[in-house]
């Protein structure tokens, strides 16, 4: 499953606190996934977990639950690779405006940037970047590399041969770092400015931001932890340099904002029909991935669309029905969820396929 790998760790060890539950006083009903949530702490070894479910366009029937201490409803947190869906939406809006085409090669905008060791920006299209079929090596696979600029991240990637052949799906954070530079070339503004103007402001995502070089989280926020090893201690990694993630994963958001974003995106409020169809077309990635979003088919036949995000101290998963009317976002305050291959599908099944 796509992730943005944990990039920075701060060596401050803490102890795991006790188990508890919390909900909003105005909550109108108990969401089916709520009973599953404590497993993320007990079985998944997360310090705390929270989820928010939206079942109406207005958010009038939002249902919130948290388990464990330290997570509150309004908290800001790092959303990692969910940034990619925002970037993809901006690129598709630019395509609708005729300012670029998905079939354009990278070299049309960034001539000569992707060269060497078998990498060639003349052959890689924007669609290949959006669908992770470019073959570009993932710069976060180099543990010693902590690039703080997009060009440095791309240079780290192109110092390696392609991870796979062009046209084959292989998730790579490098793809979206390149897209961030293309947005800047086309618009004259950084991708963060375009996301704010085109998505954050129109949807009133008041808890969502792109921090740039700011290492701290905006208030209110809890703490973020990295586990040193399975069963080991926790380190506080709340403060980190998000430039290492950039357009691949720097976003900060809230549960409410992410549900609102995916609901609006899938309902067609951000993209014209042609671009929305392109967003959800998984043919290029052989069913694994659309353009900045991926499907997950559940046992009851329902397919949910969304993305996950992992960055040091945070793991997030957002999922929604195709019409955007039913959305769920959950988060934990660490980047490691034990038994994630069982727990996450189980939580989605509980919500979207209730008995």
- For residues 124 and 114, is the Cβ–Cβ distance under 8 A? yes
Active site residues: 81
Of 46, 91, 99, 101, the closest CA to residue 68 belongs to 46
CB 335 within 8 A of CB 31: no
Letter string b/e over residues 20-50, b meaning 16 or more CB atoms within 10 A of that residue's CB: eeeeeeeeeeebbbbebbbbbbeebbbbbbb
Q: 177 and 84 in contact (C-beta within 8 Å)?
A: no
Q: Which residues contact 190 (CB under 8 A, 6 or more apart)?
A: 180, 183, 184
Q: Are 247 and 260 in contact (CB under 8 A)?
A: no
Structure token pair of residue 120 = 């060639």
pLDDT number for residue 15: 22
| Residue keyed to tokens 């992707």 | 114
Are 179 and 194 in contact by the 8 Å Cβ rule? The answer is no
| C-alpha dist (Å) from residue 9 to 239, 323, 337 | 9, 38, 16
How does pLDDT run along the chain (355 residues), one tens digit per residue? 564 443 433 322 222 222 233 344 344 456 789 889 999 999 999 999 999 999 876 666 789 999 999 999 999 999 999 999 999 999 999 999 999 999 999 999 999 999 999 999 999 999 999 999 999 999 999 999 999 999 999 999 999 999 999 999 999 999 999 999 999 999 999 999 999 999 999 999 999 999 999 999 999 999 999 987 766 789 999 999 999 999 999 999 999 999 999 999 999 999 999 999 999 999 999 999 999 999 999 999 999 999 999 999 999 999 999 999 999 999 999 999 999 999 999 999 999 998 7
Q: Are strands 314-321 and 294-297 parallel, antiparallel or unpaired?
A: unpaired
Q: Given its phi and psi angles, is residue 343 left (phi above 0), alpha (psi -120 to 50 degrees) or beta?
A: alpha
pLDDT given for residue 9 in this prediction: 35
SS3 of residue 61 by DSSP: coil
Reading the block at residue 205, the tokens are 């995502």
196: left (phi over 0), alpha (psi -120 to 50) or beta: alpha
Task: State the pLDDT at residue 228.
Answer: 79
* Of 262, 322, 255, nearest in space to 33 by CA: 255
Instruction: State residue 13's pLDDT score.
Output: 23
Q: What is the DSSP code (8-state) at residue 329?
A: E
Residues 6+ apart with CB under 8 A from 36: 346, 347, 350, 351
- Whether residue 105 is preceded by a cis peptide bond, meaning omega within 30 degrees of 0, is no
Distance of CA 148 to the CA centre of its chain: 19
Beta bridge partners of 327: 54, 320
Q: How many helices (H) and strands (E) does the chain have?
A: 10, 14
Please give the domain boundaries of the chain with CATH numbers for all domains: 13-81+212-352 (3.40.710.10), 83-187 (no CATH)
Cα–Cα distance, 245 to 278 (Å, whole number): 25
What is the Cα Rg of the chain in Å?
A: 19
Give the other-Cβ count within 10 Å of 306's Cβ. 26
């Amino acid at each position: 499953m796509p992730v943005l790998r944990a990039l920075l760790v701060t060596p401050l060890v803490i102890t795991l606190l006790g188990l508890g539950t919390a909900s909003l006083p105005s909550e109108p009903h108990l969401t089916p996934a709520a009973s599953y949530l404590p497993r993320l702490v007990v079985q998944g070894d997360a310090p705390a977990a929270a989820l928010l479910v939206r079942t109406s366009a207005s958010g009038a029937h939002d249902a919130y639950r948290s388990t464990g201490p330290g997570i509150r409803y309004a908290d800001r947190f790092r959303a990692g690779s969910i940034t990619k869906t925002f970037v993809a939406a901006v690129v598709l809006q630019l395509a609708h405006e005729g300012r670029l085409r998905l079939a354009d090669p990278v070299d049309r905008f960034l001539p000569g940037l992707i060269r060497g060791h078998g990498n060639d920006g003349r052959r890689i299209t924007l669609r290949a970047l959006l669908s992770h079929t470019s073959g570009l090596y993932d710069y976060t696979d180099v543990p010693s590399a902590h690039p703080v600029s997009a060009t440095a991240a791309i240079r780290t990637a192109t110092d390696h041969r392609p991870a796979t052949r062009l046209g084959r799906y292989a998730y790579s954070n490098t793809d979206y770092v390149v897209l961030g530079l293309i947005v800047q070339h086309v618009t004259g503004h950084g991708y963060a400015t375009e996301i704010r103007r085109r998505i954050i402001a129109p949807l009133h995502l008041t808890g969502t931001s792109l921090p740039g070089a700011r290492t701290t989280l905006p208030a209110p926020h809890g703490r973020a932890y990295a586990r040193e090893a399975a069963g080991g201690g926790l380190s506080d990694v709340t403060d980190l340099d998000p430039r290492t993630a950039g357009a691949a994963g720097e976003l900060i958001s809230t549960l409410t904002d992410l549900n609102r974003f995916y609901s609006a995106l899938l309902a067609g409020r951000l993209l014209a029909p042609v671009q929305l169809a392109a967003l959800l077309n998984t043919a290029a990635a052989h069913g694994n991935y659309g353009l900045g979003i991926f499907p997950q088919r559940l046992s009851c036949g329902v397919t949910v669309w969304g993305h996950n995000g992992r960055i040091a101290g945070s793991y997030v998963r957002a999922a929604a029905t195709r019409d955007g009317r039913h959305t769920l976002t959950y988060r934990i305050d660490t980047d490691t969820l034990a038994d994630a291959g069982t727990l996450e599908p189980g939580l989605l099944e509980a919500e979207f396929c209730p008995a």
